[in-house]
Amino acid sequence: MDTRTLPALFLSHGSPMLALEPGSTGPFLQSLGAAIESTFGRPKAILAVSAHSLAREPVLLAGAQHRAVHDFGGFPDALYQLRYDAAGAPALATQVQARLADAGWPVHRVEEGGLDHGIWTMLRFMRPEADIPVLPLAWVPTMPPAQQFALGEALAELRQQGVLVMGSGSITHNLRLIFGAQRPALDAPEVADSAAFRRWMHERSAERDWEALFAYREQAPHAKEMHPTDEHLLPWYVAAGAGGRDAVPQRLHEAVTYGCLGMDAYAFGAEAATLADAMAKGR
């Protein structure tokens, strides 16, 4: 089928161990990849904004070929054997660079490839064939949520061209709660602070209360406990900006690992409700 306008996505990637211990999120991502293709057509490319590709100014990784980067330590050997070799998107990088420059963003380009684990762990479930070109955009973690949203707005028209704008982070992310004196079990009950924060994000999203969402560190319950630093939540705002202010964000998936790593996934844009319906029918 012809590719139609795609929703933008925010996906929580949690721990790198997701690749070996998929829980409920792995099957969700598999269903998500299938639902996107059956509903909108296969994306022509994926523009990925991950919590693990950061820079002082936006940088496009425009290499012609990518591989999985194992940007972590202390995990089982099996995790380091996993691969994800996808084509890059140099032509798309040229287009995105021009688009961002026109919007006033100082954007750079490097002819290098590599997918951090926030990208490849998601795509191994969504597109195991690695048959869609990927363009990572390293972004600036010191910019506040409203500016991240504006960055997403500058990318919004890509969705009309069949490009999947995908933010990858975690809806809650405090590793000190995991790597403390006693590591919680993968299926540990969710701590109250995490549940309250995830509920607030969902409720404010359903109301399209952008001003509250932009001020999440001041207004969300337990924001500093759930996000001691911002970088894992800010891709949510880039994806939201790509979807725009008018449509209600759709939470496609909710789950928690280790009691405190929220695995929620959202879709943004007028097409998000269509994707949510397709996912619901596929369950």
Whether the model pTM is above 0.85: yes
Which of 4, 7, 5, 11 is CA-nearest to residue 232? 11
Given a contact cutoff of 8 angstroms between Cβ atoms, the answer to whether 256 and 174 are in contact is no
CB 213 within 8 A of CB 205: yes
Q: Determine the topology of domain 8-282 in CATH.
A: Protocatechuate 4,5-dioxygenase; Chain B (3.40.830)
Q: What is the DSSP letter of 161?
A: G
Tokens for 212, please give them: 């509250």
The β-bridge relationship of strands 163-169 and 8-12 is parallel
pLDDT per residue, tens digit, the chain (283 aa), is: 456 899 999 999 999 999 999 999 999 999 999 999 999 999 999 999 999 999 999 999 999 999 999 999 989 999 999 999 999 999 999 999 999 999 999 999 999 999 999 999 999 999 999 999 999 999 999 999 999 999 999 999 999 999 999 999 999 999 888 877 678 898 999 999 999 999 999 999 999 999 999 999 999 999 999 999 999 999 999 999 999 999 999 999 999 999 999 999 999 999 999 999 999 987 6
Per-residue pLDDT of 232-263, as tens digits, reads 999 999 999 999 999 999 999 999 999 999 99
Q: Is 139:37 a contact under the CB 8 Å cutoff? A: no
Amino acid at 218: E
Encoded tokens for 52: 């693990």
Q: Which of 228, 212, 215, 216 is nearest to 260 (CA)?
A: 228
> Distance between alpha carbon 271 and the CA centroid of its chain, in Å?
17
**pLDDT score at 1:** 41
What is the spatial distance between Cα 264 and Cα 193, in angstroms, rounded to a whole number?
15
Tokens 């490839």, residue located = 113
Query: According to the model, what pLDDT value does residue 177 have?
Result: 87
Decide the pairing of beta strands 134-138 and 59-61: antiparallel
Residue ranges of the domains in the chain? 8-282
HSE-CB at 51 with a 13 A cutoff on CA atoms is: 26
Instruction: Measure CA 213 to chain center.
Output: 17
The amino acid at residue 266 is Y
Give the separation between CA 176 and CA 78, rounded to whole angstroms. 24
Specify the length of the chain in residues.
Answer: 283
